[in-house]
Amino acid sequence: MSSKLEQLQALLAPVVEALGYECWGLEFLSQGRHSLLRVYIDKADGILIEDCEKVSRQVSGVLDVEDPISGEYTLEVSSPGMDRPLFTLEQFARYVGEQVKIKLRVPFERRRNFQGILRGVEEQDVVVLVEDHEYLLPIDSIDKANIIPRFE
């Protein structure tokens, strides 16, 4: 996780949690002079648009006061959704047995993309079964990971 993302997480997670939501994760995409900050929130009975509006108002106020992002940016507050992104080892552990899609920052065994069954977590590694081969992928090398929704 980048230091900017860590700084934003430390600043915003307590705000989200004080409102009664789980701060599922943050994405910060710096695109030149214009950036995007996406805050994912969750709670047991799901997220409604009103929840996103409530959190957006609070987070926006904190960002205005603390001013951690230089330049223009767009703030989005969202539910993780069915194809929820996974950010932490704890989140990976909660979804053992699910199909996942993982993209690494740098190639591992000459590949960056993995899709398979999430088998578990071992120390700082995520264990994924891809075509009868288990891969231990270091959490620090994962750029993006999502659950693949099942429609039954």
Task: Say yes or no: 61 and 117 in one domain.
Answer: no
Among 78, 108, 133, identify where a domain stops.
78
Task: Say yes or no: 60 and 40 in one domain.
Answer: yes
pLDDT in tens, the chain (152 residues): 578 889 999 999 999 999 999 999 999 998 777 899 999 999 999 999 999 999 999 999 999 999 998 888 999 999 999 999 999 999 999 999 999 999 999 999 899 999 999 999 999 999 999 999 999 999 999 999 999 998 87
> Looking at the domain assignment, is residue 152 inside a domain?
no
Task: Say yes or no: 7 and 73 in one domain.
Answer: yes
> Looking at the domain assignment, is residue 21 inside a domain?
yes
CATH number for 56: 3.30.300.70
60: domain range? 3-78
Total number of domains in the chain: 2
Task: Say yes or no: 61 and 123 in one domain.
Answer: no
3-state SS string for the chain: CCHHHHHHHHHHHHHHHHCCCEEEEEEEEEECCEEEEEEEEECCCCCCHHHHHHHHHHHHHHHHHHCCCCCEEEEEEECCCCCCECCCHHHHHHCCCCEEEEEEEEEECCEEEEEEEEEEEECCEEEEEECCEEEEEEHHHEEEEEECCCCC
